[in-house]
Chains A and B, each alone.
Chain A
Amino acid sequence: MENYRKTLKKRLLMACVYIVLLLSLIMAGFFIGRKYAVSDFIAGFNTGVCMGVLAVMIVSIVKYIAALRNDAKLKALYIYENDERTKSLMAKAGGTGINVIIGSLALGTIVSGFIDKTVFLTIPSSLLFSTFVKIFLMAYYNKKM
């Protein structure tokens, strides 16, 4: 459990670094981004994403501090994060999920050909990227296991 305590402390530090980075991005977006963004909607969307990640970081920090101060909460969090059934569930969902994404993108590529040229070029790019990620991860875990 001591190792997990150290991991949480490292995560706390990283969360603080992320918060500083996100706040800088939000400020930059507010003062500079609006001037250069393609539209107000995109500038607002980017700020919204940053605010969302910021909220997640703050919740994580609160959770980690509570766990570091209370041994029972620390053990509960450790079990929650390391439960083997949850890990197996995530692995299965992730594996199936990427196959569904690749299949949907392949279908989307065909459909988009009838709609718009830009979309037709964007979807196959996403399809190639997703396939590349899957192949890369399979090769990586093949060597690791």
Chain B
Amino acid sequence: MKSKIQELRKINKISQEELAMAVGVTRQTITSLECEKYTASLVLAYKIARFFGTTIEDIFDFSDVEEII
């Protein structure tokens, strides 16, 4: 799933490690999310959104899911 995590990280000057520690996952998980290899759970998506002070829909692109529905 496409996301704006990398973009938001760069804007806020936060490393993958810092984001990972803040949301309680490993750095590899953040890398996988940014590379679209892994889809975050609802809880992780919520934590990331809250960390950046935005909503889940603003970070994650649900257009693929909408197409299926």
Q: Which of A's residues lie within 8 Å of B, judged by CB?
A: 75, 78-80, 82-86, 88
Q: Which of B's residues lie within 8 Å of A, judged by CB?
A: 20-21, 24-26, 28-29, 32, 38, 40-41, 43-44
Q: Are B25 and A83 in contact (CB under 8 A)?
A: yes
Q: Are B21 and A85 in contact (CB under 8 A)?
A: no
Q: Are B24 and A79 in contact (CB under 8 A)?
A: yes
Nearest B residue to A76, CB-CB: B21
A-B contact pairs, 21 of them (CB 8 A): A75-B21, A78-B24, A79-B20, A79-B21, A79-B24, A79-B25, A79-B26, A80-B26, A83-B24, A83-B25, A83-B26, A83-B28, A84-B25, A84-B40, A84-B41, A84-B43, A84-B44, A85-B25, A85-B26, A85-B38, A86-B29
Q: Which of A78, A84, A86: most chain B CB closer than 10 A?
A: A84
Nearest A residue to B26, CB-CB: A83
- State how many angstroms separate the Cβ of B21 from the closest Cβ of chain A: 7
Q: Which of A78, A79, A80: most chain B CB closer than 10 A?
A: A79
Q: Which residues of A contact B21 (CB under 8 A)?
A: 75, 79
